[in-house]
Structure 1
């Protein structure tokens, strides 16, 4: 795309996204403020998601300040970072709304604290909608002006989902008592790290336009990497399910069998719930990797068919 086309694209995108910044800031700020005002009643889960809402609010405010000073026109790479941030923010606020309501809000007694928690969840949902709207608008503008951004493509969005799910898994397994007692579970944790690193590097390579520096064709490289990731995640999921939920391997098949979950509500997820959350997230990420494997298999197949046949 020409320099004039790039300038028009950035100017149009600047006007489009700027109208979304204020409701994004307001929604995340309200979620943060409502939970912060709960004091000791917010618990570990409340502190965790309060930090997420605070982060999204602060970064969005910084982005808006940069846009108002018209610096993005001088640094087009800023928009790639902004696109990536919008994708992750939409997922962060959406996950915060879901996890916070499931693991915390419904267990609060009726009263002002539950009302504030429900309001915080509602504002988090609203914020996720505005961030998702920004992603859609950026995708529409990229089609109109025929510009490209990796995170707005199918493989880019899958990478974002992979790294995001892995990030949530890392948050749950920060409780080392879940796996340090069993080498098989330590392997599962190692798999999460092994698969996360190349996924994060792929996003950086594409954002920096460095994918041409990889050895061999890029689709073939991604196909092999996806296949390896699928196999690793299958092993991690099988071992996690066996050693966490099968009594023969020392697991706890039911929540009631876990002594840590017998206590009264302490505004935290008990150990069994954390094990279940990791299992669910691992399954979701495995499905994402399988989807990516199918995508790159199709791409390699198309490129192979396009090669000239030697008679």
Structure 2
């Protein structure tokens, strides 16, 4: 039997989600009314706004009808992980869209950019509202290490989007970097999926120790990628003069990959510090 829970839309987090639905709907509607193109970055932005809109509506529906309590998943982990993912996706769209498609006389494009930025702020607020506080019993993905896992997976996806097979097949060192990105992404994704699916009990060792081992391994692997990727990517490869826009310049994408590699290196270091604190200090206490 379905019971309606009006608090799902009247609590602070519910109000924020309703506003997210409104602004993401306005954003993709404005963008679609201006132009239709097969450009990869325009498609990414449209997918981001539509995906976040659809999933937020679904979350509101499940919580309003209390069907979320009947799902065989960790609902708290799922909603918090989605809020973090949506924040990162819309942040990227809010940067990519105005840089590539907005001009001083394009009113609809400016409106799209503004609404996208407001949607980003709303999802960031939701992350703050759903994040577990110190001493609070909550799901793993609503804690800082859990949110960092979502960040690490998202950054890896940005790296994969910018990768081109012609960029890394020339040097074994670059192929190693791609292997680092893939291996660490798979580990992060598995932890996220196991957490949402309530399958952490299947780990053959204590989860906190597995997490610490994975993070330390990722830090060591990313240290090599931080050094090797720019070393070989920009070796005898100066910036071409034709790189007047981002999306038609492979050299710019090499820069993005280098930057995102550093971002993930920092994220894994912070994640390692938190996981070691969990193992060596909190668990002993």
TM-score (norm: length of structure 1): 0.79
Which of 106, 130, 138 aligns to 1:148? It is 138
* Corresponding residue pairs, total: 280
TM-score (norm: length of structure 2): 0.86
| Structure 2 CA distance for partners of 1:125 and 1:42, relative to 1, 3 Å | farther
Which of 252, 255, 263 aligns to 1:284? It is 263
Which of 103, 109, 114 aligns to 1:122? It is 114
State the distance in 2 between where 1:145 and 1:284 align. 28
Contact preservation (8 Å) 2:9, 2:18: no
- For the pair 1:50 / 2:39, whether they are aligned, the reply is no
| Structure 2 CA distance for partners of 1:41 and 1:212, relative to 1, 3 Å | closer
| Structure 2 CA distance for partners of 1:218 and 1:92, relative to 1, 3 Å | same
| Structure 2 CA distance for partners of 1:146 and 1:296, relative to 1, 3 Å | closer
State the distance in 1 between where 2:36 and 2:197 align. 44
Alpha-carbon distance, 1:117 to partner? 2.6
Which of 269, 277, 284 aligns to 1:298? It is 277
The Cα RMSD (Å) is 2.9
Stretches of structure 1 that go unaligned for 5 or more consecutive residues are 1-9, 307-311
Alpha-carbon distance, 1:165 to partner? 0.9
Alignment partner, residue 152 of structure 2: 162
Contact preservation (8 Å) 1:219, 1:300: yes
Contact preservation (8 Å) 1:226, 1:293: yes
Contact preservation (8 Å) 1:219, 1:299: yes
Give the secondary structure class of the aligned counterpart of 2:68: coil
| Structure 2 CA distance for partners of 1:56 and 1:304, relative to 1, 3 Å | closer
1:13-56 Cα distance to aligned partner (Å, 9 max, x none): 66423322332112112221222223257843222211111111
| Structure 2 CA distance for partners of 1:11 and 1:155, relative to 1, 3 Å | farther
